[in-house]
Each structure stands twice: as structure tokens, then as C-alpha cells.
Amino acid sequence: MQIVKDIYGEADMESFGATLSVALRSGGVVYLEGDLGMGKTTLVRGMLRGMGHEGPVKSPTYTIVEPYELADLEVYHFDLYRVGDAEELEFMGIRDYFTEQSLCLIEWAEMGRGILPQADLIVRLDLIRQGRHAVLEATTDKGLIAMTKLRDLVVD
């Protein structure tokens, strides 16, 4: 199952993130794919705002992970762009972040290949003429449940 959505501008990306947050309240693993500058962190900001987070949302480019503790869910935003070797993730205890009570949003997941768990949902962002083209794909049963919730919310 796939969902496709064209997104125009930062506000539209944040709004799309808020929509995604509705389907991800039970946690999971989401890979955020796309080149630099595609809006992955903006999408995460929208997701966090949709879940009630009111503080700043920073890109974890240098820290690798930014944690957000919400009322009923722990959200971890990872940016693995600067990871030189997937084994580095083992040293930081990355497996401890993946629990039933967490939502892990991972940019540049290919840098953690062999260490990271399978994504429940993959969100791919690509450049189009005046904005971004988002393709969402479920890869697990949990991802399919999220996509089923999203199907009626995402209208292009």
C-alpha cells in the first residue's frame, strides 16, 4: 500500500507532518528519505506539533538524536548523515531507543544498515517543480495499520 501527496511550501510540509502524527500515535519506526534540503526535519516538526509538542524542534545533524518526551509517547528524531560506520550506533546504545512506547523518526537510515530495525513506514521526499512529492510506503503490519488510518486523511 502506498500514499502519494504533493506538498507546496514549509507550512504545507508541517501540516502534512501533523496529519501523519495522527496515524503514528502508537509508535513505530519511520525512515525519512530524501536528499539534503527536502524538508525531512520540517516534516518531523509538523509531526511533533501534531502530537502536542510546543518547544523547539532542532535538526539532530550533530547530536545524532533529539529526544522528545510527550504525554504518552517518547519520540526520537535521528539524523545519521554524519555517521561514518554503522557500528558507531551500537556504541551509543541505539537499540535501547526502539521500544513499544517510542516513535523513532530516522533520517539517512541507510547509514545504519545492519543495526537499525526494519521501518514500519518509509516516507520518501523528492523535489517537484514548485514543492515536494511525498510517497509513503508501509513495510510491516504496524505500518499498514498506520497507512489505513492515513488513507482517509491524506487527499491530494
Note the pLDDT tens digit of each residue in 20-50: 999 999 999 999 999 988 899 999 999 999 9
Return the ∠ at Cα 154 (arms to 148 and 155), rounded to 5°.
130
Closest CA to 53 of 21, 28, 20, 85: 21
pTM: 0.93
How far apart CA 71 and CA 68 sit, in angstroms, is 10
Q: What radius of gyration, in Å, describes the C-alpha atoms of the chain?
A: 14
Confidence at residue 58, expressed as pLDDT on a 0 to 100 scale = 86
Q: Hey, is 111 helix, strand or coil?
A: helix
Residue 156: pLDDT above 70?
no
Name the residue with cell 529526544.
67
